[in-house]
Chains A and B, each alone.
Chain A
Amino acid sequence: MTAESTLSPAPADVTPPRQAQPPDRTPPPAARVRRRAWDEVPRWQIYLPLGIYLLFTLVPFYWILLFAVRPAGSTSLLPWPMTTAHFEKVWNERSFGVFFQNSLLIGVAVLISTTVVALAGGYALARFDFRIKKGFMLALLCSQFVPGALLLVPLFQIFAELRMINSLGSVIIAETVFQLPLSMILISGFIRNVPYSLEEAAWVDGCNRFSAFRIVVLPLLRPGLVAVGSFAFVHAWNHFLFALMFLSSQDKQTIPVGLNTLMGADSVDLGALAAGGVIAAVPVVVVFGFIQKWLVTGFSAGAVKG
C-alpha cells in the first residue's frame, strides 16, 4: 500500500489510490468519475485480514455453542447429536428463567436513565461555556479512575441507609451512575459534530433552544444515542459485582451472578456452564446485531456534510 502511493507522483487529473471511506451515499454526478476510485483498494487487502479476524472472533462463539448442545461426555467437534438437556437444566433448575427477567429489567431501565441524563449533561458540555465546566470534565475523567470493586462497601452502606438493599433499584442506580461519565463524554462529542450553525438557523426560524434541539439535533444524534444506549444496556447486562452485593435473595439475582455460581462450585459441569453462557450471550449479541445494521444506515443518513 505504501509502495503504491509513493510510486505514483499522481498529478491532479490522475486517480490516486484511496483512503478508507465508504461511499454510503451515491456521490454527486460531478464527483463520480473520481469517486469510483474509492473501490480501488485491492479486495484481498480487505477480505484476507477480515477473514482471519473473523475466525478469531467466531471460534470462541462456536466453542460455547458446541458445548451447550453436545451431550455430556461427547468429544465430537460437530454439534450433533444435539441435546437441549443443558438448557432445560439451567433454565429450570438453576432459575436462569428468573435471572433472565431481572437482567432484562435492569438493562432496559439503565439504558433509558443513562441516555436521558447523559443527553442533558452532554448537551451542556458541548454547547456552553460555564464556570465549572473544566472542573466537571475533570470529575468525569477522575470518576473513571476509581476501582469500582472497592466502592462496594460504601455503596452498600448508602443503599442500606436508603433501604434499597435487595431491590433492583439499587443495581439500576449504581449501574447508571457508573455508565454516566463515559456516556456523557461520548454524547457531547456527538453533539459537537453537529454544527452549531444548524441550531442557530432553527432559532432564526423561530425555534426555542429545546425545540431546535429536538427538531434539528436529535435526529442527527440517533446513531450516537443508539451507541451510547447499547453500551449502557450491555454493561448493565454483563456486570455482576453490584448485583452480587446488593441483591441478596435468589429471585432477585441476575444472569451473570448465575453464571458465576456455575463457574464456581461445580465447574465440572461444562455443559451447564456453556448453556448458561449462551443464554447470557444471545440477547446482547442479537440486540447488537440488529443495532449494528441500524447504526450503519443511521450514520450514512445522519452524517452532516455540505
Chain B
Amino acid sequence: MASAVTPPPQAVTSRGRRRTGATPRRLPYLLIAPAGLLMLGFIAYPVLSVFYYSLQNYNPTKPWRNGFAGLDNFTRIFTDDPRFWGTLTFSLKWVVVEVTLQLLFGLALALIVNQTFVGRALGRALVFSPWAVSGVLTSAIWVLLYNSQTGISRYLADLGIGTYGTSWLSDTATVFPAAIVADLWRGVPFFAILILADLQSVPKDLYEAAEVDGAGRVRQFVHITLPHIRDAIVLSTLLRAVWEFNNVDLLYTLTGGGPAGETTTLPLYIAHTSVDAHNFGYASALTTVAFVILLFCSMVYLRLSKFGGDAT
C-alpha cells in the first residue's frame, strides 16, 4: 500500500515509447464510448420511444383506437385526471419525508461509526447490512412483521398494547408511517455508506489545524466536515430522491398502493396504467410529465446547492 503512494520509479511497462497510449484529444471519448453506447441503445432510445408513444393512442388490447393523438393525452392529464394530482401530491410527500429522514439518520449514523470504538467493524457491518436487502425482499420482511395474525402487533397485543388483528398496512391512519419505517430500514444505510466513504477522505491535518486555532467539535463539523462531504450529500440526496420517487417495488408489494389508493405514487399509477390497463400511450404521457417534473426539480436543486462548484 505504501509503495502505491510513491510511484515506483522503475516499474514501468513501456519506457521510451510515447507517454500516452492514444492521442489525448481522443482518449476521453474512447473511454466513455462503451458506457455511452450502452446508454444510448438501452436508455436513450427507449426513452425516445416513450416520448413518441406519449403522442399516440396506443393500447394493444384496443387496436382500432390506436393512432396519432397529438396532445390529447397531456390535456387529459392536466384537466381531466384527478388521480394524477392525487398521486403526484402523495409522491412529493413520500419523497420529502423519506429522504429528509434518511439523510438525517444516515449522516448521524456515518458520524457515529466513523469514530473509534470497540467493535466498530462489526457494528458497521451490522447497521449497514439492510442496504444489501432491497425491493421484494424488504417487502417480504415487513409483510411478515406487519402481518395482522402473526406479526408484531399480535405480540404487542399480548402485552396489552393495541388490539388483536390490527393490520397497520390496511388502515389509512397507519399505512403511511408503516411504509416509511420499512423504507427507512433499507434507505438509511445507503446514505450512511456514501457519507462515510467521503468522511474518510477529509484530511486529518485540517482538524489538527482547527484544534490549534481553538475550534470546537461543532465548529469543526460545520467548517471542515460539512464542506468536504457536501458533494456526497448533494449527490446521494438527489439520487435517493429520484430513486424514491420512481421506485415502485416496495409500495407495490407492501401496500399495493392501498388502502383506497392512499399510498399510490405517480409511478405506481403509471405502472398500473401501462401494465394492468394496457393504456401504453397515456402511461407514456404520464411518464413524460413525471420526467419533466423530476428534471426541473433536480436542476433547481443542483443549482441551489452549487454542485461540483469546487471540484478539481
The verdict on B139 contacting chain A, using a C-beta distance below 8 Å, is yes
A149 touches B28 (CB 8 A): no
| Contact indicator B136/A260 (Cβ below 8 Å) | yes
- Asked if A112 is at the interface (CB within 8 A of a chain B CB), the reply is no
B-to-A contact residues, CB < 8 Å? 1, 4-5, 7-21, 24-25, 27-29, 31-32, 34-36, 38-39, 41-47, 49-50, 105, 108-109, 111-117, 120-121, 123-137, 139-145, 147, 150, 152, 154-155, 185, 193, 197, 199-205, 207-208, 210-221, 224-225, 231-232, 235, 238-239, 242-243, 246, 248-249, 253, 267, 270-271, 274-275, 280, 283-284, 287, 290-291, 294-295, 298, 302, 311-312
In the bound complex, do residue B246 and residue A263 qualify as a contact, i.e. CB atoms below 8 Å apart?
A: no
Tell me if A160 counts as interface (CB < 8 A to partner B).
no
B126 near A5: Cβ-Cβ < 8 Å: no
Instruction: Kindly supply a per-residue 1/0 record for chain A positions 138-172, scoring 1 wherever the CB is within 8 Å of any chain B CB and 0 otherwise.
Output: 01011111111111111101100000000000000
Q: Which residues from B are CB-within-8-Å of A223? A: 197
Please, could you name 13 A-B residue pairs with CB atoms under 8 Å apart, sorted by A? A147-B287, A149-B246, A151-B46, A153-B274, A177-B38, A208-B20, A211-B13, A273-B144, A277-B141, A281-B132, A281-B133, A284-B133, A288-B128
Q: With the chains together, A281 CA to B137 CA distance in Å? A: 7
CB distance from A219 to the nearest CB of B (A): 4
A12, B127: Cβ atoms under 8 Å? Answer: no
Contact for A305 among B154, B205, B270, CB less than 8 A: B205
Cα distance A147–B293 in the bound complex, in angstroms:
12
The answer, among A124, A128, A151, A273, for a CB contact under 8 Å with B47, is A151
B217 partner residues in chain A, CB cutoff 8 A: 1, 4-5, 16-19
A270 interface residue (CB < 8 Å to B): yes
Q: B280's contact among A46, A153, A216, by CB below 8 Å, is which?
A: A153
Best-buried of A39, A219, A274, A292 by chain B (most CB within 10 Å): A292
Nearest residue (CB) in B for A45 is: B112
* B116 x A120 contact (CB < 8 A): no
Distance between A280 CB and nearest chain B CB, rounded to angstroms = 5
Within 8 A of B (CB), among A177-205: 177-178, 180-182, 184-185, 189, 192-193, 196, 198, 201-203, 205
Supposing A273-B144, A280-B137 touch, asked if A46 and B117 sit within 8 A by C-beta, the answer is yes
Q: By DSSP majority rule, is chain A's interface helix, strand, loop, or mixed?
A: helix
Number of chain A residues whose Cβ lies closer than 8 Å to a Cβ of chain B: 143
Best-buried of A21, A174, A205 by chain B (most CB within 10 Å)? A21
Q: How far, in whole Å, are A15 and B12 apart by their CA atoms in the complex? A: 47
CA distance A177 to B140 in the complex (A): 27
Cα–Cα distance between A181 and B172 once the two chains are bound (Å): 37
Assess the A306–B239 pair: CB atoms within 8 A: no
Q: Say yes or no: A121 contacts B35, CB within 8 Å.
A: yes
The contact of A60 among B28, B141, B210, by CB within 8 Å, is B141
Q: Are A117 and B125 in contact (CB under 8 A)?
A: no
B136 close to A8 (CB less than 8 A): no
Residues of A with Cβ closer than 8 Å to B?
1-2, 4-6, 8-12, 15-23, 31, 34-35, 37-39, 41, 43, 46-47, 49-50, 53-54, 56-61, 63-64, 67, 75, 77, 117-118, 120-121, 123-125, 127-128, 130, 132-133, 136, 139, 141-155, 157-158, 173-174, 176-178, 180-182, 184-185, 189, 192-193, 196, 198, 201-203, 205-212, 215-216, 219-220, 223-224, 227, 234-235, 238-241, 256, 259-260, 262-263, 267, 270, 273-274, 276-277, 280-281, 284-285, 287-289, 292-293, 296, 299-306
Interface SS majority for chain B: helix
B144 near A64 with CB under 8 A, answer: yes
For the complex, what is the distance from the CA of A121 to the CA of B39, rounded to whole Å?
12
The verdict on A302 contacting B134 (CB below 8 Å), with A189-B231, A209-B27 known, is no
When the two chains form the complex, which single residue of A67, A201, A224 contacts B7, counting CB atoms closer than 8 Å? A201
Q: Is the CB of B12 within 8 A of A158?
A: no
Instruction: Return chain B residues, CB-CB under 8 Å to A19.
Output: 207, 210, 217, 220-221, 224-225
The reply to whether B137 and A238 form a contact with Cβ atoms under 8 Å apart is yes
CA of A102 to CA of B53 in the docked complex: distance in angstroms? Answer: 34
Cα of A9 to Cα of B139 in the assembled complex, Å: 51
Closest 7 CB pairs of A and B: A5-B216, A154-B46, A124-B31, A202-B7, A128-B28, A19-B220, A219-B4
